[in-house]
Structure 1
Amino acid sequence: MRLNDWQRELEAYLLGAQPTPGVALRDSLLGSPALSAEEGLAIYHNAYRARLLDALRDDYSALHHWLGDDEFEGLASAYLQAHPSRHFSLRWLGARLADFIDGYLVAAQSAPLAELAGLEWAFTLAFDAADGEPLTLEAMATLTPAEWPELRVRLLPSVQWLPCSYNSLALWRATKAADELPARTQLEQPQVCLIWRQGLVSRYRSLGPAEAQALHGMSVAGWNFGELCAELAAYGDAAPLQAATWLKQWISEGTLERSNPSL
């Protein structure tokens, strides 16, 4: 057997669900009086699988806590069968778990589970993202009155925007605090959970509908500050103050960078 054929045979064995190797792979190796080739391969197979499951448990600790050991292992095993590790780093192993859950379970079960998985993955993405160039209040203080209406911003690379219809954030917080998990509930009104990294610390908070619309308008839809004030016309004369208050908060939290720094 050529080396590249043997490597493919070993890879297929490790990625497969069965701990028993094929005849060709088994016969290509020599065992010892204490350990046969088949037993050694089975140990390697089980250790590799266990490492992948450990990585998923670490990335999805709240989901694991909610489901329990057996149900989580069943879900993770099915996921690994459908999406075996393809990257040299385990960092990306769980990237498709939330989408997988949507097709793996019936809708009534999958929606809250997929949302919780998406929340946990958002924290992972936020922590590993590039720094960007956070806009500061000190920089804002240097803007002239003529520059304010044309000010445009965008979200920093670490910021994750996650619509939530269930109490996923409460479940996640309970897991981190080692508290008893609350009952799964659907929110009376969907919320946006904003997740980002400030320095080396993960941050998060929920946004009300009005603030979420304003932040999305400025950071995603491309409104400038003048357009934000116009969109807040329902606030009357207080619209510029409300716009400035939100903008100050977003900047203080470290979620924005300037998208037109030359202006």
Structure 2
Amino acid sequence: MHSLEQTLYWMQTVITHPLGVAEGIASTAARRVIDIDPANAEEVVTRSETLSAVQRMEIYSHAYYARLLDCLREEFPALRYSLGEELFDEFAVGYLQDYPSASYTLFELGSRFPRYLRETRPPRAESTVGSSQSADWADFLIDLAEWELVFNQVFDGPGLESKSAFQVNQLLQLTPVQLVETRLFVSPALRLLRFKFPVSRYFSAFRRQEMPELPEPEQSLIAISRRRFKVKTLELTPAAYEILYALIQGQTIGDAIAAAAPYTDLHAASFGDELRTWFHQWAELGFFEFALIPD
């Protein structure tokens, strides 16, 4: 006689197995709890008048995976649009088989989907015409999946809503020496992303129901964060990207600006004007939490 705890754990292991109920019963994890094979499943679950024990459990297994599939469709709507319903579902089912849900929360369900797409992409020579180094359709899909994943993580993750907004005017009151030695601590919601395609623009067009076409390859540098419970995105120049990257790494403002200098051809005065514009904009978008100002 099996205990209720054993039976529940066994059923969970069997029903959630990515290859199906019979494979779940025969799995090592299930046999550690109740050591039977699929032919003897009725020792644990009784059959009905019309269905065997395995068939009864398959109903729950199908419902479980149908729910997970619905969640992935909701989490990656632009990717689903790009691939089409049928092809998206094929990728999603393959993903759930290779990366079964292992968390108590559905928030983590799609966290490895971009990795799965990278691992299963066709060889570049087969998926693109021309240079073997050029970006192709598979690269676009991977970029788009990464973008939607990060967008959802920023939307649901920690932010600064409970704290006072950082005021960039604090920096204007500093001496030049203090300013270059100041460190800016960024919002926990801030992410920097580098893509081969303009997926942020594509995603925005999709949300406006403009039915966007596959874009041409184009390096895209994006900052994404959240302010007042709204996700904010900003396309960056290479110099702006380098500054924010250095600040995220904990470097001083002076070191961050120095790191960006090779990425701009503006003379000092024009670059200074651009820096002021950027820092005001970044503060408005909630990129910064507070400043550590030296004495």
Aligned equivalents of 1:197 and 1:119: distance in 2?
15
Q: Work out whether 1:240 is the aligned partner of 2:278.
A: no
Give SS of 2:292's match: coil
| Structure 2 stretches lacking a partner, 5+ long | 26-37, 128-136
Of the three residues 102, 117, 121, the one matched with 2:149 is: 121
User: 5 Å matches for 1:133-152?
Assistant: 134-137=165-168, 139-140=170-171, 143=174, 147-152=178-183
Aligned equivalents of 2:55 and 2:256: distance in 1?
69
Whether the 8 Å contact between 1:150 and 1:224 is mirrored in structure 2 is yes
Whether the 8 Å contact between 1:174 and 1:181 is mirrored in structure 2 is yes
Moved more, 70-79 or 153-162: 153-162
Aligned equivalents of 2:86 and 2:145: distance in 1?
17
User: 5 Å matches for 1:56-205?
Assistant: 56-106=72-122, 107=124, 108=127, 109-132=137-160, 134-137=165-168, 139-140=170-171, 143=174, 147-187=178-218, 190-205=219-234
Q: Deviations over 1:61-110 (max 9, x none)?
A: 11111111111111111111111010000110110110110111114443
Query: What TM-score does the superposition give when structure 1 sets the normalisation length?
Result: 0.86
Query: What TM-score does the superposition give when structure 2 sets the normalisation length?
Result: 0.77
Aligned equivalents of 2:239 and 2:188: distance in 1?
23
Whether the 8 Å contact between 1:151 and 1:224 is mirrored in structure 2 is yes
1:238 to 1:206, Cα distance in 2 relative to 1, 3 A: closer
Q: What amino acid does structure 1 have at the position aligned with 2:14?
A: A
Deviation at 1:186, TM superposition (A): 0.7
Q: What amino acid does structure 1 have at the position aligned with 2:20?
A: Q
Give SS of 2:289's match: strand
Pairwise CA RMSD of aligned residues? 2.8
